[in-house]
Amino acid sequence: MALDISKYLGLFVSEAGEHLAQLGAELVRLEAAGRDGAAVSELVDGLFRHAHSVKGMSASMELDGIAALAHRAEDLVDPFRRRGVAPDAESVDVLLAAVDGLGALVARAAQGEKPEADRALLERVEAAAARARGEAAPEREAPAPPLAEPQSPGVAPPAPPPAAALHRRVEVEVEVAGACPVPAVRAFLVVKKLARLGQVVRTAPAEEDLRAGRLPGHRLTATLETPAPLGEVERALSQISDLARVAVAEAEARPAPAAPAAAPRLAAAPAAPAEGAERTVRVRVELLDSFLDAVGELILATSRLRALGRAVPEEHRPPLEDGVDRLHATVKDLHDKVMAVRMTPLSLLTERLPRAARDLARRLGKQVEVEVRGAEIEIDRALLDELADPLTHLLRNAVDHGLESPPERLRAGKGATGHVTVSARRERDRVLLELADDGRGMDPERLRAAAVAKGALPAAAAERLSDKDALQLACLPGLSTAAEVTDLSGRGVGLDAVKRSVEAVGGALEIDSARGRGTRFVLRLPLTVAVQQVLLVRVAEEVLALPIAKVHGAAEVALSALDQSRGAPVLPYDGALVPVLDLGALLGFGGARPAPCAVVVADGEAGPVGLAVDQLLGQQEAVLKPLARPFDRVPGLSAVTVLASGRPVFVLDLARLGAA
């Protein structure tokens, strides 16, 4: 029966992506370890395993182009593995190119293609492998042979042999690794692989059980009739990843194919899974998002029930409130569990950074080492997705403009190799993600001068800024102090986008720098973006929500009594004068604010700003929902939530409110 492998494509793409990400990261670590004289054997073995796994998985999925390139990469690693030494820089370059090529092929496979590997890349990897083995580079004219089924010379081609030749019987027993997320799929791939060598006359469990995901004890036994020698069968199975054990033995020879007979030894009940073995299942992110959305609706419905209960006569209210309390506790517990499932380790984000820094440093003629700490800390997956680009930008910025060239560093009394540290730690309900370099640092005075020259603020205001506040000027759009803004990065060119991205998820960006000693960016992030504390305010007849993380405080004042600066009222707050904006006028609601009115002091795009509103309604926990069109295109709005009364309320994007 033909096996439909297309339904395993998602699993293949996911697993291949993980192997390639680890392959790239370990190459960078290996290069650094070799430079430092550290032991490398284990790392080189890891490279080989990842390349081997990708090759085996691709071959099983009949993606011969991917398997061919992975096999070449495996060949390139092999000489270094045998000698127990780290690959040289040139070989690392070639291997990283192969990783990129494999990633591109896997991406095309995810779209349903059967991509072929680039011939030039295949030949480049093969030439590097020959050089690593001390051989002359091969002269290649013929296309790269398919490697889905690497064979020894003289071995029969992969086409099934004629029935008349199926006179020998082989017993196969495999054990799938306990960490394999879908063991039945692996067992199914074993059956398919065996079918290419001959006729599979029996399996235990049956193929129907494997299709249904059943593989008791993670063990599969099969009887194969084949003319292939035992070594060939073992080699074929060695291409399949996640097999903890493979046993191939000659069975009794028969004069002709016979009806399958159950072997007593193989039919025995498999052993139970090892106690304490962790079992996992992969779930699509979209499914988790919809699950969280449903739980959010339950939270809102519970709040609605509680509000309606207040209209019930008091003598009938206790049993209703008791039921609502129990429902709320259950829904809250469910919400916490869903959030726990969505939590993802930061390593998914940080493991790519050493590779990115290494590539950029080589392009710039610099040397850099990236150290990652706290990558095991978990945050909401949705938050992780939003942070990928900002963090990469900060890293590129640090390498491009932060770190000096090796001669500059040596003249400054530093080591030739620059260091970038990415660290994360939990601080109550927030995560602090830091990216620090030991480069030349930022100059607050130059930032002040650049901001004044650009017209972003008056010279007197620039002079009043502390050095710490002056560093924040680097986040103004289009402001840069770099002598040369390259296409790689530009300090001041992209930091405004970084700041906006961080603030869009309820976080904050801090900058600390010392000339000659380096720069430190701190991203203060919530653990999740799905639920946030908000401050409700009323403006005219509208109720609006402000993210509480952006609010510094509030005051009750008469706007007409405030001093004026540049035509706008200013509120003395925390030792500074904060400009006050009429939130109703800003959003086009019209009407005058009462006197006195409430002024909320919050973070604006260029610093603290006061927002005049009619009334403060209080703080509450809000389940945030994304905006639908056309509201998602309105500047100043970031999300929507629903109050207990059922009233929808917009959550304001304070950083972009000025553009509304």
Mean pLDDT of 369-387: 85
182 located within any domain = yes
Work out the average pLDDT over 265-288: 54
Residue 595 placed within a domain = yes
| Average pLDDT of the residues in 125-147 | 66
Residue 236 resides in a domain: yes
**DSSP assigned state of 537:** E
Percent share of the chain, pLDDT over 90: 13
Cα distance between residue 372 and residue 13, in whole Å: 26
Q: Is the pLDDT of residue 433 over 60?
A: yes
Do 244 and 293 belong to one domain? no
Q: Which of 133, 155, 179 is the last residue of a domain?
A: 133
Q: Are 471 and 499 in contact (CB under 8 A)?
A: no
Q: Does some domain include residue 373?
A: no
Of 53-67, 211-225, 416-430, 574-588, minimum mean pLDDT range:
211-225
User: Structure tokens of 136?
Assistant: 């002359």
The residue type at 381: R
- As a whole-number percent, the residues of the chain with pLDDT over 70 amount to 83
State the average pLDDT over residues 78-84. Answer: 86
- 565 falls in which pLDDT band (50, 70, 90)? confident
Domain match, 203 and 295 both = no
Domain total of the chain: 4
Average pLDDT of the chain to the nearest whole number: 79
Rounded Cα distance between 194 and 172, Å, is 9
Supply the CATH number for residue 32's domain: 1.20.120.160
Residue 141 has pLDDT above 50, yes or no: no
Please report which confidence band the pLDDT of residue 166 belongs to, taking 50, 70 and 90 as the band edges: very low
CATH number at residue 560: 2.40.50.180
Q: At residue 478, does pLDDT exceed 80?
A: no
What pTM was computed for the model? 0.59
- 604 in a structural domain: yes
Count of residues in the chain? 660
Which residue did the predictor score with more confidence, 277 or 585?
Answer: 585
Exposure string over 61-77, b if 16+ CB within 10 A, otherwise e? bebbbbbbbbbbbbbbb
Indicate the range of 195-204, 362-371, 432-441, 518-527 predicted with least confidence. Answer: 195-204
Given 200, 231, 250, the domain boundary residue is 250
Name the nearest CA neighbour of 338 among 534, 502, 528. Answer: 528
121 vs 642, more confident: 121
- Residue 275, pLDDT score: 46
pLDDT at 137 over 80: no
Q: Which domain holds residue 332?
A: 285-341
pLDDT for 198-229, tens place per residue? 878 888 888 777 766 678 788 888 888 887 77
In this structure, of 103-107, 528-532, 652-656, the range with the lowest mean pLDDT score is 528-532
Q: In this predicted structure, what is the pLDDT of residue 165?
A: 45
Residue 215 in domain: yes
Are residues 43 and 119 both part of a single domain?
Answer: yes
361 inside domain: no
Residue 357 covered by a domain: no
- Residue 146 has a pLDDT of 41
The C-alpha atoms of residue 503 and residue 524 are separated, in whole angstroms, by 9
Q: Amino acid letter at 196?
A: R
Query: CATH no. for residue 172?
Result: 3.30.70.1110
- What pLDDT is stored for residue 153 in this prediction? 37
